[in-house]
Amino acid sequence: MGIVFNSSNFPSERATKARVLVAGGAGFLGSHLCERLLREGRTVVCVDNFSTGRMENIRHLLRFDTFSYVRHDVIDPIDLPVDEIYNLACPASPPHYQADPIHTMKTNVIGSLNLLQLAARYQARIFQASTSEVYGDPHVHPQPESYWGNVNSFGPRSCYDEGKRCAETLFYDFHKQHGVDIRIVRIFNTYGPRMRPDDGRVVSNFITQALQGKDITIYGDGSQTRSFCYVDDLIDGFSRLMYNPRAIHTPVNIGNPGEFTVRELAEQIVEMTGSSSSVVYYPLPTDDPRQRRPDITLAERELGWAPKIALTEGLKSTITYFERQLVRPNGELAEVA
Protein backbone atom coordinates (compact mmCIF):
# COMPACT_ATOMS: atom_id res chain seq x y z
CA MET A 1 0.00 0.00 0.00
CA GLY A 2 1.10 3.52 -0.69
CA ILE A 3 0.94 6.42 1.72
CA VAL A 4 -2.52 7.84 2.39
CA PHE A 5 -2.34 11.59 2.83
CA ASN A 6 -4.48 13.74 5.07
CA SER A 7 -4.50 17.37 6.07
CA SER A 8 -2.22 16.77 9.06
CA ASN A 9 0.82 16.05 6.86
CA PHE A 10 0.18 18.72 4.26
CA PRO A 11 2.42 21.82 4.50
CA SER A 12 0.95 24.86 6.17
CA GLU A 13 -0.66 27.48 3.95
CA ARG A 14 0.90 30.88 4.16
CA ALA A 15 1.61 32.44 0.79
CA THR A 16 -1.67 31.47 -0.85
CA LYS A 17 -4.80 29.44 -0.42
CA ALA A 18 -4.00 27.42 -3.56
CA ARG A 19 -2.89 23.94 -2.51
CA VAL A 20 -1.27 22.09 -5.41
CA LEU A 21 -0.31 18.43 -5.79
CA VAL A 22 2.26 17.68 -8.49
CA ALA A 23 2.43 13.97 -9.30
CA GLY A 24 5.81 13.18 -10.82
CA GLY A 25 7.15 16.39 -9.33
CA ALA A 26 10.75 15.16 -8.97
CA GLY A 27 11.09 14.47 -12.67
CA PHE A 28 12.54 16.65 -15.41
CA LEU A 29 9.35 18.56 -16.18
CA GLY A 30 7.78 18.16 -12.76
CA SER A 31 10.63 19.83 -10.93
CA HIS A 32 10.51 22.85 -13.22
CA LEU A 33 6.76 23.04 -12.69
CA CYS A 34 7.11 22.83 -8.89
CA GLU A 35 9.65 25.64 -8.98
CA ARG A 36 7.37 27.90 -11.00
CA LEU A 37 4.36 27.22 -8.77
CA LEU A 38 6.36 27.98 -5.63
CA ARG A 39 7.68 31.23 -7.07
CA GLU A 40 4.08 32.20 -7.84
CA GLY A 41 3.22 31.76 -4.15
CA ARG A 42 1.45 28.41 -4.20
CA THR A 43 1.74 25.66 -1.63
CA VAL A 44 3.10 22.56 -3.35
CA VAL A 45 3.42 18.91 -2.43
CA CYS A 46 5.51 16.81 -4.80
CA VAL A 47 4.40 13.19 -5.08
CA ASP A 48 6.90 10.88 -6.76
CA ASN A 49 7.96 7.24 -6.53
CA PHE A 50 11.48 8.27 -7.69
CA SER A 51 11.65 5.55 -10.32
CA THR A 52 12.89 8.13 -12.82
CA GLY A 53 12.54 11.32 -10.77
CA ARG A 54 15.60 12.43 -8.80
CA MET A 55 16.06 14.05 -5.43
CA GLU A 56 18.67 16.41 -6.85
CA ASN A 57 15.97 17.93 -9.07
CA ILE A 58 14.01 19.19 -6.06
CA ARG A 59 16.65 19.58 -3.34
CA HIS A 60 16.90 23.32 -3.96
CA LEU A 61 13.13 23.65 -3.40
CA LEU A 62 13.35 22.50 0.22
CA ARG A 63 14.16 26.07 1.25
CA PHE A 64 10.51 26.94 0.57
CA ASP A 65 8.38 26.31 3.66
CA THR A 66 5.45 25.91 1.28
CA PHE A 67 7.05 22.86 -0.37
CA SER A 68 7.13 19.23 0.67
CA TYR A 69 7.64 15.92 -1.05
CA VAL A 70 6.53 12.37 -0.39
CA ARG A 71 7.67 9.10 -1.94
CA HIS A 72 4.45 7.60 -3.26
CA ASP A 73 3.26 5.70 -6.33
CA VAL A 74 0.06 7.08 -7.83
CA ILE A 75 -1.20 3.60 -8.65
CA ASP A 76 -1.95 3.43 -4.91
CA PRO A 77 -4.87 5.46 -3.49
CA ILE A 78 -4.24 8.97 -2.25
CA ASP A 79 -6.39 11.26 -0.10
CA LEU A 80 -5.36 14.87 0.35
CA PRO A 81 -7.46 18.04 0.31
CA VAL A 82 -6.16 20.04 -2.65
CA ASP A 83 -7.30 22.78 -5.00
CA GLU A 84 -5.22 21.81 -8.03
CA ILE A 85 -3.61 18.63 -9.31
CA TYR A 86 -0.97 18.22 -12.02
CA ASN A 87 -0.53 14.68 -13.29
CA LEU A 88 2.98 14.24 -14.70
CA ALA A 89 3.46 10.79 -13.19
CA CYS A 90 4.80 8.54 -15.92
CA PRO A 91 8.21 7.77 -17.43
CA ALA A 92 8.39 9.55 -20.78
CA SER A 93 11.38 8.00 -22.53
CA PRO A 94 11.16 4.66 -24.34
CA PRO A 95 13.90 2.85 -22.36
CA HIS A 96 12.24 3.81 -19.09
CA TYR A 97 8.59 3.19 -19.93
CA GLN A 98 9.45 -0.05 -21.73
CA ALA A 99 11.47 -1.36 -18.77
CA ASP A 100 8.21 -2.26 -16.97
CA PRO A 101 5.41 -1.82 -19.51
CA ILE A 102 2.69 -3.16 -17.22
CA HIS A 103 3.58 -0.63 -14.54
CA THR A 104 3.66 2.10 -17.20
CA MET A 105 0.12 1.21 -18.26
CA LYS A 106 -1.03 1.06 -14.63
CA THR A 107 0.52 4.48 -13.98
CA ASN A 108 -1.33 5.97 -16.93
CA VAL A 109 -4.67 4.31 -16.22
CA ILE A 110 -4.94 3.48 -12.50
CA GLY A 111 -2.80 6.48 -11.53
CA SER A 112 -4.98 8.83 -13.55
CA LEU A 113 -8.11 7.23 -12.11
CA ASN A 114 -6.86 7.75 -8.54
CA LEU A 115 -6.03 11.40 -9.20
CA LEU A 116 -9.32 12.05 -10.98
CA GLN A 117 -11.21 10.56 -8.06
CA LEU A 118 -9.24 12.86 -5.77
CA ALA A 119 -10.14 15.83 -7.97
CA ALA A 120 -13.82 14.86 -7.90
CA ARG A 121 -13.76 14.44 -4.11
CA TYR A 122 -12.34 17.90 -3.45
CA GLN A 123 -13.66 19.70 -6.56
CA ALA A 124 -10.07 20.38 -7.62
CA ARG A 125 -8.96 21.42 -11.08
CA ILE A 126 -6.79 18.71 -12.61
CA PHE A 127 -4.16 18.88 -15.35
CA GLN A 128 -3.07 15.95 -17.49
CA ALA A 129 0.37 15.86 -19.08
CA SER A 130 -0.52 13.93 -22.21
CA THR A 131 1.79 13.48 -25.17
CA SER A 132 2.18 13.84 -28.90
CA GLU A 133 2.61 10.06 -28.90
CA VAL A 134 -1.18 9.83 -28.94
CA TYR A 135 -0.79 10.65 -32.66
CA GLY A 136 1.48 7.62 -33.18
CA ASP A 137 3.23 7.50 -36.56
CA PRO A 138 1.06 10.20 -38.10
CA HIS A 139 -0.53 10.28 -41.52
CA VAL A 140 -1.35 13.99 -41.01
CA HIS A 141 1.42 16.57 -40.79
CA PRO A 142 1.67 18.78 -38.79
CA GLN A 143 -0.55 17.23 -36.15
CA PRO A 144 -3.63 19.21 -35.03
CA GLU A 145 -5.63 18.25 -31.95
CA SER A 146 -8.44 17.04 -34.21
CA TYR A 147 -6.26 14.25 -35.66
CA TRP A 148 -7.16 10.88 -34.12
CA GLY A 149 -3.75 9.36 -34.72
CA ASN A 150 -2.19 6.18 -36.09
CA VAL A 151 -1.22 4.14 -33.03
CA ASN A 152 -0.27 0.49 -32.70
CA SER A 153 -2.06 -1.12 -29.75
CA PHE A 154 0.14 -4.24 -29.87
CA GLY A 155 3.79 -3.28 -29.69
CA PRO A 156 6.66 -2.13 -27.45
CA ARG A 157 5.50 1.51 -27.37
CA SER A 158 1.84 0.67 -26.78
CA CYS A 159 2.05 0.76 -22.98
CA TYR A 160 2.85 4.46 -23.19
CA ASP A 161 1.00 5.54 -26.33
CA GLU A 162 -2.23 3.70 -25.56
CA GLY A 163 -1.87 4.38 -21.85
CA LYS A 164 -1.86 8.11 -22.49
CA ARG A 165 -4.80 7.80 -24.89
CA CYS A 166 -6.75 5.90 -22.24
CA ALA A 167 -5.88 8.56 -19.65
CA GLU A 168 -7.32 11.25 -21.94
CA THR A 169 -10.51 9.19 -22.19
CA LEU A 170 -10.77 8.99 -18.40
CA PHE A 171 -10.34 12.75 -18.17
CA TYR A 172 -13.09 13.23 -20.76
CA ASP A 173 -15.45 10.88 -18.89
CA PHE A 174 -14.82 12.42 -15.47
CA HIS A 175 -15.52 15.85 -16.91
CA LYS A 176 -18.75 14.71 -18.58
CA GLN A 177 -20.00 12.43 -15.82
CA HIS A 178 -18.79 14.20 -12.68
CA GLY A 179 -18.15 17.77 -13.84
CA VAL A 180 -14.45 17.61 -12.99
CA ASP A 181 -12.58 20.71 -14.20
CA ILE A 182 -9.92 19.25 -16.51
CA ARG A 183 -7.02 20.60 -18.54
CA ILE A 184 -5.04 18.45 -21.02
CA VAL A 185 -1.75 19.30 -22.75
CA ARG A 186 -0.29 17.15 -25.49
CA ILE A 187 3.45 17.62 -25.02
CA PHE A 188 5.81 17.50 -27.98
CA ASN A 189 9.53 16.73 -27.58
CA THR A 190 10.87 18.86 -24.74
CA TYR A 191 14.45 19.32 -23.56
CA GLY A 192 16.47 21.35 -21.07
CA PRO A 193 18.38 21.19 -17.79
CA ARG A 194 17.53 18.31 -15.40
CA MET A 195 17.07 15.78 -18.16
CA ARG A 196 18.55 12.42 -17.24
CA PRO A 197 21.59 11.49 -19.34
CA ASP A 198 20.28 7.93 -19.57
CA ASP A 199 16.70 8.70 -20.55
CA GLY A 200 17.18 7.54 -24.13
CA ARG A 201 15.87 10.67 -25.85
CA VAL A 202 17.81 12.22 -28.68
CA VAL A 203 18.80 15.53 -27.09
CA SER A 204 20.23 14.04 -23.90
CA ASN A 205 21.71 11.08 -25.77
CA PHE A 206 23.50 13.23 -28.32
CA ILE A 207 24.81 15.77 -25.80
CA THR A 208 26.11 13.12 -23.41
CA GLN A 209 27.75 11.17 -26.23
CA ALA A 210 29.30 14.31 -27.73
CA LEU A 211 30.72 15.52 -24.42
CA GLN A 212 32.23 12.09 -23.75
CA GLY A 213 33.65 11.79 -27.25
CA LYS A 214 31.58 8.71 -27.98
CA ASP A 215 29.86 7.83 -31.25
CA ILE A 216 26.59 9.69 -31.82
CA THR A 217 23.99 6.96 -32.28
CA ILE A 218 21.21 7.63 -34.76
CA TYR A 219 18.44 5.10 -35.20
CA GLY A 220 17.29 4.84 -38.80
CA ASP A 221 18.85 7.04 -41.48
CA GLY A 222 18.34 10.25 -39.48
CA SER A 223 15.77 11.70 -41.88
CA GLN A 224 12.94 11.36 -39.37
CA THR A 225 11.88 14.72 -37.95
CA ARG A 226 11.21 16.06 -34.48
CA SER A 227 10.21 19.43 -33.05
CA PHE A 228 12.06 20.49 -29.91
CA CYS A 229 10.53 22.74 -27.24
CA TYR A 230 12.65 24.23 -24.46
CA VAL A 231 11.37 23.42 -20.98
CA ASP A 232 10.71 27.04 -19.94
CA ASP A 233 8.42 27.55 -22.93
CA LEU A 234 6.56 24.35 -22.14
CA ILE A 235 5.96 25.22 -18.48
CA ASP A 236 4.66 28.63 -19.56
CA GLY A 237 2.19 26.81 -21.79
CA PHE A 238 1.10 24.67 -18.83
CA SER A 239 0.40 27.78 -16.77
CA ARG A 240 -1.47 29.58 -19.53
CA LEU A 241 -3.80 26.63 -19.99
CA MET A 242 -4.31 25.85 -16.31
CA TYR A 243 -5.13 29.43 -15.33
CA ASN A 244 -6.78 30.69 -18.48
CA PRO A 245 -10.02 32.54 -17.65
CA ARG A 246 -11.70 30.67 -20.49
CA ALA A 247 -11.83 27.06 -19.38
CA ILE A 248 -10.59 24.77 -22.18
CA HIS A 249 -11.54 21.17 -21.51
CA THR A 250 -10.20 19.67 -24.73
CA PRO A 251 -6.57 18.69 -25.46
CA VAL A 252 -4.15 21.45 -26.48
CA ASN A 253 -0.85 20.92 -28.31
CA ILE A 254 2.12 22.58 -26.64
CA GLY A 255 5.39 22.33 -28.54
CA ASN A 256 7.75 24.18 -30.83
CA PRO A 257 6.70 23.90 -34.50
CA GLY A 258 10.29 24.26 -35.69
CA GLU A 259 11.05 20.95 -37.42
CA PHE A 260 14.49 19.34 -37.67
CA THR A 261 15.75 15.99 -38.84
CA VAL A 262 17.47 13.86 -36.23
CA ARG A 263 20.62 14.05 -38.34
CA GLU A 264 20.51 17.88 -38.27
CA LEU A 265 20.20 17.81 -34.48
CA ALA A 266 23.21 15.49 -34.15
CA GLU A 267 25.34 17.68 -36.42
CA GLN A 268 24.38 20.83 -34.51
CA ILE A 269 25.23 19.31 -31.13
CA VAL A 270 28.58 18.02 -32.39
CA GLU A 271 29.39 21.50 -33.67
CA MET A 272 28.25 23.29 -30.50
CA THR A 273 30.21 20.98 -28.20
CA GLY A 274 33.32 20.97 -30.38
CA SER A 275 33.22 17.19 -30.20
CA SER A 276 35.24 14.78 -32.31
CA SER A 277 32.41 12.23 -32.18
CA SER A 278 31.39 10.38 -35.30
CA VAL A 279 27.80 9.57 -36.24
CA VAL A 280 26.85 5.88 -36.45
CA TYR A 281 23.55 4.42 -37.58
CA TYR A 282 21.43 1.63 -36.11
CA PRO A 283 18.10 0.11 -37.18
CA LEU A 284 15.00 2.18 -36.46
CA PRO A 285 13.04 0.88 -33.42
CA THR A 286 9.58 -0.59 -33.90
CA ASP A 287 6.81 2.01 -34.33
CA ASP A 288 9.21 4.94 -34.09
CA PRO A 289 7.34 7.88 -35.69
CA ARG A 290 8.74 9.28 -38.93
CA GLN A 291 7.43 12.82 -38.43
CA ARG A 292 6.55 14.95 -35.45
CA ARG A 293 5.50 18.60 -35.55
CA PRO A 294 2.75 20.33 -33.59
CA ASP A 295 0.02 22.47 -35.05
CA ILE A 296 -0.18 25.12 -32.30
CA THR A 297 -2.96 27.21 -33.82
CA LEU A 298 -5.25 26.49 -30.86
CA ALA A 299 -2.62 27.47 -28.27
CA GLU A 300 -1.81 30.66 -30.14
CA ARG A 301 -5.46 31.66 -30.49
CA GLU A 302 -6.82 30.66 -27.07
CA LEU A 303 -3.78 30.99 -24.80
CA GLY A 304 -1.73 33.64 -26.56
CA TRP A 305 1.11 31.13 -26.33
CA ALA A 306 3.98 30.50 -28.71
CA PRO A 307 7.52 29.30 -27.97
CA LYS A 308 10.15 32.00 -27.58
CA ILE A 309 13.40 30.08 -27.20
CA ALA A 310 15.17 28.96 -30.38
CA LEU A 311 16.80 25.55 -30.54
CA THR A 312 20.34 26.96 -30.55
CA GLU A 313 19.67 29.05 -27.45
CA GLY A 314 18.05 26.16 -25.59
CA LEU A 315 20.81 23.75 -26.52
CA LYS A 316 23.43 26.13 -25.09
CA SER A 317 21.76 26.00 -21.66
CA THR A 318 21.25 22.26 -21.85
CA ILE A 319 24.85 21.57 -22.90
CA THR A 320 26.09 23.79 -20.05
CA TYR A 321 24.00 21.75 -17.62
CA PHE A 322 25.53 18.48 -18.81
CA GLU A 323 29.04 19.98 -18.88
CA ARG A 324 28.77 20.60 -15.12
CA GLN A 325 28.21 16.92 -14.51
CA LEU A 326 29.94 13.61 -14.95
CA VAL A 327 28.28 10.27 -15.60
CA ARG A 328 29.39 7.53 -13.24
CA PRO A 329 29.48 3.92 -14.50
CA ASN A 330 26.15 3.21 -12.75
CA GLY A 331 24.48 6.08 -14.61
CA GLU A 332 24.15 8.39 -11.61
CA LEU A 333 25.27 11.98 -11.84
CA ALA A 334 28.07 13.62 -9.93
CA GLU A 335 28.90 17.29 -9.93
CA VAL A 336 32.18 18.23 -11.55
CA ALA A 337 34.55 19.62 -8.94
Q: What is the pLDDT of residues 51-98, one digit of tens each?
A: 999 999 999 999 999 999 999 999 999 999 999 999 999 999 899 999
pLDDT at residue 7 greater than cutoff 60:
no
Domain 15-332 class in CATH: alpha beta
Query: Please, which pLDDT band fits residue 125 given cuts at 50, 70 and 90?
Result: very high
pLDDT at residue 12 greater than cutoff 60:
no
The whole-number average pLDDT for the span 247-261 is 97
pLDDT at residue 245 greater than cutoff 50:
yes
Question: Which residues are annotated as catalytic?
Answer: 160
pLDDT at residue 331 greater than cutoff 70:
no
pTM score: 0.91
Percent with pLDDT over 90 in the chain:
87
User: Which of 12-17's residues contact partners 24+ apart within 8 Å by CB, and which partners?
Assistant: 12/43, 12/65, 12/66, 13/43, 13/66, 14/43, 14/65, 14/66, 15/41, 15/42, 15/43, 15/66, 16/41, 16/42, 16/43, 17/83
Residues 244 and 278: beta-carbon distance below 8 Å: no
Alpha helices in 9-130 (DSSP H): 28-39, 55-58, 94-99, 101-106, 112-122
Q: Mean pLDDT across the chain, nearest whole number?
A: 91
Phi, psi of 299, deg, nearest 5: -65, -40
Beta bridge partners of 143: 294
Question: What are the tens digits of pLDDT across the range 149-198?
Answer: 999 999 999 999 999 999 999 999 999 999 999 999 999 999 999 999 88
Residue 332 confidence (pLDDT)? 52
Residues 128 and 183: beta-carbon distance below 8 Å: yes
Q: How far apart (Å, rounded) are the C-alpha atoms in residues 65 and 249?
A: 33
Q: Are strands 260-261 and 279-282 parallel, antiparallel or unpaired?
A: unpaired
Instruction: List the domain boundaries for the chain.
Output: 15-332
Q: Are strands 333-335 and 325-327 parallel, antiparallel or unpaired?
A: antiparallel
Residue 337 confidence (pLDDT)? 30
What 3-state class would DSSP assign to 40?
coil
